[in-house]
Amino acid sequence: MEIIIQPTAAVASGIAARLVARLLREKPSAVLGLATGNTPRMLYQELARRKLEWSKVTTFDLDEYVGLPPEHPGSYYQFMRENLFRHVNVTPANIHVPDGMTKDIPGFCAHYEQAIRAAGGIDLQVLGIGSDGHIGFNEPTSSLSSRTRIKTLTAQTRRDNSKFFECEADVPHHVITMGIGTILEARQIVLLAFGEQKAQAIAQAVEGPISAMCPASVLQLHPDTKVFLDEAASRLLTKVDYYRWVYDNKPDWQKTSGP
């Protein structure tokens, strides 16, 4: 796990965008796993600005609310459309978002897992982190080997996500989410966390024990995870100086380079 601390969310997002852009240049048919929410907005804006070639890229969204049709303004399909898909030349048939309106949730979840396998697996997975340490919608106590499935949201997560709805009561109680085991199979993971409200979760995920009580802590086991933080999100980490030193003194071949 590499911890990359930058002065602001914008700077951190720009460096993360360089990493994704390099993958798309090196592998035009890359498979991306995409997160939603406020955290990755700047990353997606930066990727759109770069005018990259997306026509052969395949995408899989992490999650979707159960009971929301794609056209609902609070759906994650609409989020991705507005924040990325309509700004790049991604092929519509290559976009995969969980179906919140499916009548057969277990069957759909099995199909989603098969679709990921059929695409060759996820090359790079973008993640945010919840204030309680969840990734995707894998809430605390989720199995660390879980697969795509339905999950019930905690009261805290529903409060956190109420800003995307008219009121908290409108936030659905259930979601379809990729599982933690599914996420761990991505060849590379980029986790973004910005703001003081994420500091405790980041401290637990990066420097705490691996525990289902902080699902993001399982990323300590992943062979290639990069964690992009602003100053505020890093404030509770105990080894900040070491993380900065490592990033500043990487050999040239390891550095995230390119425009």
- Active-site residue, selected from the candidate residues 63, 99, 160, 230: 63
Q: Which of 46, 113, 139, 160 is catalytic?
A: 139
The burial class, CB within 10 Å (0-12 / 13-18 / 19+), for 30 is buried
The single residue of 113, 132, 160, 230 carrying the catalytic annotation is 132
134 is catalytic: yes
Closest CA to 78 of 92, 59, 64: 64
Contacts of 202 (CB under 8 A, 6+ apart): 129, 193, 227, 229, 233, 234, 236, 237
132 in active site: yes
Q: Judge whether 139 counts as a catalytic residue.
A: yes
Distances (CA, A) of 75 to 27, 95, 236: 30, 15, 33
Contact between 226 and 50 under an 8 Å Cβ cutoff? The reply is no
Q: Is the dihedral of CA 66, 151, 80, 98 positive or negative?
A: negative
Q: Is 185 a catalytic residue?
A: no
* Six-digit token string for 156: 């805290």
Which of the residues are catalytic? Answer: 63, 132, 134, 139
